[in-house]
Amino acid sequence: MRVGTGLRDVAERAGVSMRTVSNVVRGTGRFSEATRERVLRAVEELGYRPNTAARRLRTGRSGVLLLAVPELTMPYWAELAEHLLREASARDRTLLVEVTGGRPQAELEIALGRTDPLVDGIILSPLALDDRAAVRAPSPTPLVLLGERVHDLPFAHVTVDNTGAAREATARLLARGRRRIAVIGRQTAAHAATSATRLAGYRAALEQAGLDYDERFAPPVAGYHRDDGAAAAHALLGLPEPPDAVFCFADTLAEGALHAARAHGVRVPEDLAVIGFDDIEAARFTAPALTTVAPDKRELARLAITAVLEGVEGARPVRPAVLRAGHRLVVRDSG
Of 279, 295, 311, the position where a domain reaches its end is: 295
Q: Is residue 232 part of a domain?
A: yes
Task: Give the CATH number of the domain where residue 12 resides.
Answer: 1.10.260.40
What is the rounded average pLDDT for all residues in the chain? 88
Report the DSSP pairing between strands 327-330 and 291-295: antiparallel
Portion of the chain with pLDDT greater than 70, in percent: 88
How confident is residue 204, by pLDDT bands cut at 50, 70 and 90?
very high
Residue 40 within any structural domain of the chain: yes
Question: CA end-to-end span of the chain, whole Å?
Answer: 44
Confidence grade of residue 205 (pLDDT, cut at 50, 70, 90): very high
**191 occurs within a structural domain:** yes
pLDDT score for 320: 67
**Is residue 68 in some structural domain?**
no
Average pLDDT over residues 13-42: 78
Q: Is the pLDDT of residue 302 over 90?
A: yes
At residue 283, does pLDDT exceed 90?
yes
Q: Please give the Cα distance from 324 to 299 (Å, whole number).
A: 9
DSSP codes of every residue in 278-327: S--GGGGTSSSPPEEEEE-HHHHHHHHHHHHHHHHHTSS-----EEEE-E
| Confidence category of residue 150, pLDDT binned at 50, 70, 90 | low
Mean pLDDT of 88-113: 89
pLDDT of residue 42: 84
User: Average pLDDT for residues 112-116, to the nearest whole number?
Assistant: 82
- Give the C-alpha separation, 323 to 123, whole Å: 13
In a domain, 315, yes or no: no
Greater confidence, 31 or 241?
Answer: 241
What is the mean pLDDT of the segment spanning 90-100?
A: 89
Q: Regarding predicted confidence, which is higher, 328 or 90?
A: 328
- 76 or 5, which is more confident: 76
| Per-residue pLDDT, 234 | 98
pLDDT at 116 over 60: yes
Sign of the CA dihedral running 235, 245, 293, 171? negative
Of 104-113, 209-218, 245-254, the least confident: 104-113
Count up the domains in the chain and report the number. 2
Of 186, 163, 332, 199, the C-alpha closest to 253 is: 186
Percentage with pLDDT > 90 across the chain: 58
Residue 222 within any structural domain of the chain: yes
Q: How confident is the model at residue 151 (pLDDT cuts 50, 70, 90)?
A: low
Lowest mean pLDDT among 135-139, 188-192, 251-255, 302-306: 135-139
Q: Sorting pLDDT into bands at 50, 70 and 90, what band is 56?
A: very low
Q: Where are the alpha helices (DSSP H) in the chain?
A: 7-14, 18-26, 33-46, 52-59, 75-90, 104-111, 131-136, 162-175, 193-208, 226-237, 251-263, 297-313
In a domain, 34, yes or no: yes
Phi, psi of 95 (to 5 degrees): -115, 120
Top pLDDT among 278 and 39 is at 278
Pick the last residue of a domain from 18, 34, 49: 49
Let me know if residue 37 belongs to a domain. Answer: yes
User: What residue numbers bound the domain in which 230 lies?
Assistant: 162-295
Cα radius of gyration (the chain): 22
Give the confidence band of 79 by pLDDT, cuts at 50, 70, 90: very high
